[in-house]
Amino acid sequence: MKEQLEKIRQAAAQALDAVETGEALESVRVRFLGKKGELTAVLRGMGALTPEERPVVGQLANEARAYIEGKIEEKKAAVAAKEREAKLKSEVIDVTVPGRRKLAGRLHPLYQVLNEITAIFTGMGFSVAEGPDIETDYYNFEALNIPADHPARDTQDTFYINDNIILRTQTSPVQIRVMEQTKPPIRMIAPGRVFRSDAVDATHSPVFHQIEGLVIDKGITMADLKGTLEAVVKGLYGPDAKIRLRPHHFPFTEPSAEVDVSCFACGGKGCGMCKGEGWIEILGAGMVHPKVLKVGGIDPEVYSGFAFGLGLERIAMFKYGIDDLRLFFENDLRFLRQF
């Protein structure tokens, strides 16, 4: 049995010297020290020894176990260090390798145009105002000189939440709210979403964007309106762009005008984009109606002002040569990546 213990000791030492991995180390431990291991089998046979032999063999067996366990711990530390080194080598980062290109987000084309327009107006001293998308009938219609029986309401295609609450059909209600809270002089624009019950097609959408503009001060005239709009158009379409004003009617302005810009595709000579006319309609404008000034708490005998409203989608379509309004809302990356 002494010879058997010595052989087990030597065999364990040889097996441990050959170990390279944690799994192999565990296999050696089970082979010699497990419940069915070689050393355990020797200890179970000690019952056949004489009382004099048992202490001697027991001491030798314990020494063999201690030796094998010590070698296992040594090897475990060596294997762990080796595996850690191999892992570090496999996970090393080559800082000279080019990085993976991340796709950068960008502004929607509508907001690119909106930022451009906003920069033009703020450069002229205008402030930016906001108002709620859900409006009252008063601010959206009555305060703008559009009473309940006014025929203009028939053309608004309004989304009614109840008899008094609606989704705003224009950003003009913001001018009333600004007039109520601000004393003249006033120079502001109010960009935002508006809602009308329109069927979706290439030129219509139930949700679109408008930019309302308002200037109120002493001595404001149509000449100021024309000069302001010319500056905006030249900022958007270049120094050669021209505008013209055509008489029109809006309930909240008097006098009123439709504003055209010279076709930027043909320079006013006539083409398919401008339908051969040389001009493209872009917005409506006029002098603020005295009734609207009174509703806003401003004396029309002292102050005058002009207002205008332009469609953001219309401006963007002309600027980029887009022929279908739906492209702005479909979130097609092939379209958006062009801007």
Q: What is the pLDDT of residues 230-287, one digit of tens each?
A: 999 999 888 888 899 999 999 999 999 999 988 877 767 777 767 788 898 889 999 9
* pLDDT value, residue 172: 94
Q: Identify the CA nearest to 172 among candidates 256, 253, 281, 261.
A: 253
Long-range Cβ contacts of 16-19 (<8 Å, 24+ apart): 16/68, 16/71, 16/72, 16/75, 19/75, 19/79
Residues 233 and 297 in one domain: yes
182 class by beta-carbon count within 10 Å (0-12 exposed, 13-18 middle, 19+ buried): middle
**Does 116 share its domain with 170?**
yes
pLDDT at 86: 82
| 284 contacts: CB under 8 Å, gap ≥ 6 | 248, 250, 256, 257, 258, 259, 308, 309
Give the Cα separation of 37 and 35 in Å (integer).
6
Q: What's the total number of domains in the chain?
A: 2
Residue 262 CA to residue 251 CA, distance in Å, equals: 27
DSSP-assigned letter for residue 63: H
Question: Same domain, yes or no, for 81 and 159?
Answer: no
Any domain includes 95: no
Contact status, residue 174 vs residue 130, Cβ threshold 8 Å: yes
- 149 & 23 share domain: no
Q: State whether 86 and 118 are in the same domain.
A: no
Asked if residue 256 and residue 144 are part of one domain, the reply reads yes
* Paired residues of 216 in beta bridges: 186, 305
Do 55 and 131 lie in one domain? The reply is no
Residues 158 and 222 in one domain: yes
Within-domain flag for 13: yes
Q: String of b and e for 68-93 (b: at least 16 CB within 10 Å)?
A: beebbeebbeebeeeeeeeeeeeeee
| CATH number, residue 127 | 3.30.930.10
Q: Structure tokens of 280?
A: 């493209």
The answer to whether residues 304 and 201 belong to one domain is yes
Residue located via tokens 């439709």: 258
The per-residue pLDDT for 93 is 79
Residues of the chain predicted below pLDDT 50: none
Nearest to 61 by CA among 75, 49, 78: 49
Q: What token pair was written down for 63?
A: 């020494």
Q: Kindly state whether residue 113 falls inside one of the protein's structural domains.
A: yes
The C-alpha atoms of residue 144 and residue 42 are separated, in whole angstroms, by 105
Q: Are residues 82 and 130 in the same domain?
A: no
Same domain, 218 and 322: yes
Residues 35 and 166 in one domain: no
Which residues span the domain enclosing 161? 109-336
Q: Would residue 102 count as lying in a domain?
A: no
Residue 98 lies in a domain: no
Phi, psi of 212 (to 5 degrees): -90, 140
